[in-house]
Chains A and B, each alone.
Chain A
Amino acid sequence: MNSRLASEIFSLTLEHLELVLITLAIAAAVAIPAAVLLARHAAARRWVLGFANIAQTIPSLALFGFLLPLPFIGGIGKRTAIIALCLYALLPILRNTLTGIRGVDAAVRESAVAMGMTRRQILWLVELPLAVPSIVAGLRIAAVTTIGTATIAAFIGAGGLGVFIVRGIAMMDKPQILAGAVPAAAMALVADEALEWIERRLSPA
């Protein structure tokens, strides 16, 4: 019995981790290039940040509910959960990447232009490397919130550690709830520490 519980914790933790990593990969792949484009376009920046802000305010359980009946992106299962989780992960990554790029010292950017760097060189050699600590900070926030929110995704059949919690609530079984909540919390703490360490390592100053 105990070893069955342990192996279930292990496999659901892996499943949870998979959900989180896929979500973060997609969100970063969308948000970082978007931020690079938006850094140069003030008008578009307001609209996109506005949209991302609104997405952030939708309660996650409600969002899962909204997505369920939609064709293609909806339905029961992981795909719907990942789409919803991505919506929440976008904003912190987007905003932090923007902050990082726009936070590059004006004198540094000016001398990059004046020394004859092309726009592409300025982006890849100056702006993005200087923005890396800020981008990692965004990933860190996104990782921690995604680990937490992903437990709710079990309500729409996405699997992961939320399975214990949903089951525990239904059966009024506290140990079951803890079997999901404790590993999820531990995962969030580990992710937070690890990314903070990376963030510090990559800071130039």
Chain B
Amino acid sequence: MPATAVVDIRHLSCALGGRSVLRDISLRVEEGETVVLLGRSGSGKTTLLKVVNGLATPSAGEVWFEGRPAEGWDPIQLRRRMGYVIQDAGLFPHWTVADNVGLVPRLESWPPQKVAERVEFLLNAVGLAPAEFGARYPRQLSGGQKQRVGIARALAADPPLLLLDEPFAALDPITRFELQRQFLALRRTVRKAALFVTHDVREALMMATRVALLRDGALDLVLTPAEFLAARTAEAKAFLASLEENWRPDEQPPRI
């Protein structure tokens, strides 16, 4: 009997507005693991994340969280056990950085002193000096800084699971690379399970302990990054082709 997975997705299907978005997905995420959901736009990866978070309802199958079916959880409690990071951070514009990061601990009625300590620790952990950034408002931050705050906020109540929906997609390449590296460093210190959605195969290979490739709402394959590089399904090859294409300006443009 293997250790209980943080998330165990069992034969999950989901239809939104009469259209089948997810078909018979089974996937386990263990502690300390980052499973990257890789797929084209419309492949269902964001929907899968929303089902896990209870933002969308499955039409068949079930999600188990920490050894219990998700229906057995109070949805509010369930969500507070998951950190959620989205593309443009979704920070609350009327709250300071510190207020944003401290949200879930405050909802969980932590004593103010403990919330303040946690916020300071997390801002340091994501590379933002608390003294400089704690009192700022989201509008006073760059895109990369917002995303750092988003990650700190997701980690705030020390949830066992992180859900990340293309968290770095809107950033410029240099900032994106910085945040990717920081996330990897952070993962070594805080052992969390993570479901990470991206359409960027390079990011998938960098962040993943396992890559789950989605195609038209079904799992194409689930492999380690090393195995993925040798994968032979049509969809995997399509993604790998975009990786191999190292076109330089002094060469002829690639023929399509």
Chain A residues whose CB sits within 8 angstroms of the CB of B89 once the complex forms: 107, 111
Q: Which of A108, A111, A121 contacts B84 (CB 8 A)?
A: A111
Flag B78-93 by CB within 8 Å of A: 1 or 0 each. Answer: 1110101011111111
Q: Which residues of B contact A (CB under 8 A)?
A: 53, 55, 76-80, 82, 84, 86-94, 103-104, 107, 137, 139, 153, 163
Chain A residues whose CB sits within 8 angstroms of the CB of B94 once the complex forms: 129-130, 204
Q: Which of A107, A110, A111, A116 contacts B80 (CB 8 A)?
A: A116
Not counting A110-B55, A129-B94, A204-B93, a sample of 18 additional A-B residue pairs whose C-beta atoms are within 8 angstroms of each other reads: A105-B93, A107-B90, A108-B91, A108-B93, A110-B86, A111-B84, A111-B86, A112-B92, A114-B55, A114-B84, A114-B163, A115-B80, A115-B104, A115-B153, A116-B104, A117-B107, A121-B107, A204-B139
Chain B residues whose CB sits within 8 angstroms of the CB of A204 once the complex forms: 93-94, 137, 139
Q: Which of B77, B87, B88 contacts A116 (CB 8 A)?
A: B77
Measured CB to CB, the nearest residue on chain B to A132 is B94
- B53, A114: Cβ atoms closer than 8 Å: yes
- A126, B90: Cβ atoms closer than 8 Å: no
How far is B2's CA from A153's CA once the two chains are assembled, in angstroms?
79
Is A7 an interface residue, CB under 8 A from the partner? Answer: no
- B104, A107: Cβ atoms closer than 8 Å: no
Interface of A is mostly: helix
Chain B residues whose CB sits within 8 angstroms of the CB of A115 once the complex forms: 79-80, 84, 103-104, 107, 153
Measured CB to CB, the nearest residue on chain A to B74 is A116
22 contacts between A and B (CB under 8 A): A105-B90, A110-B55, A110-B86, A110-B90, A111-B86, A111-B89, A111-B90, A113-B79, A114-B55, A114-B82, A114-B84, A114-B86, A115-B79, A115-B103, A115-B107, A115-B153, A117-B76, A117-B103, A121-B107, A204-B93, A205-B93, A205-B139
Chain A residues whose CB sits within 8 angstroms of the CB of B90 once the complex forms: 105, 107-108, 110-111
Contact-size category for A:
10 to 19
Min CB distance, A119 to chain B, in Å? 10
The number of A-B residue pairs with CB atoms under 8 Å apart is 58
Chain B residues whose CB sits within 8 angstroms of the CB of A111 once the complex forms: 84, 86, 89-91
Is A118 an interface residue, CB under 8 A from the partner? Answer: yes
Min CB distance, B81 to chain A, in Å? 8
Min CB distance, A126 to chain B, in Å? 6
- A116, B93: Cβ atoms closer than 8 Å: no
How far is B79's CA from A112's CA once the two chains are assembled, in angstroms?
10
Min CB distance, A16 to chain B, in Å? 35
Q: Which of A105, A110, A116 contacts B107 (CB 8 A)?
A: A116
Flag A83-100 by CB within 8 Å of B: 1 or 0 each. Answer: 000000000000000000
How far is B87's CA from A105's CA once the two chains are assembled, in angstroms?
13
